Amino acid sequence: MQLETESLTKIVNKIIATRPDEIDCDTCYSELDNFVDMLREGKKAEEVKPLVQHHLNMCNDCCEEFEALLLALDAVEA
């Protein structure tokens, strides 16, 4: 299987962006409710929980969970 240049570039960029203090998906998921609450209170993501924000930037699955949670909360409040 041959990787396309765009796919390979995304992979390399994610590797370069890794941090020594990264969290895993389980940790991110356990912090998500609190993270969303803080964001909805108007706090800045990078200040609230920078490791969660970094993980969401790097992980499509967790980012989808985050976005679904935001949509669900918006729907409940509407």
Confidence of residue 2 (pLDDT cuts 50, 70, 90): low
The pLDDT, as a whole number, for residue 52 is 95
The pLDDT, as a whole number, for residue 20 is 77
pLDDT per residue as tens digits for the range 45-54 = 878 899 999 9
Distance CA 9, CA 4 (A): 9
Helix axes 60-77, 25-40, angle to 10 degrees: 30
Parse the chain into domains and list their residue ranges.
Answer: 45-78
Q: Which residue has the higher pLDDT, 24 or 14?
A: 24
The pLDDT, as a whole number, for residue 1 is 57
* Residue among 53, 8, 11 at smallest CA distance from 28: 53
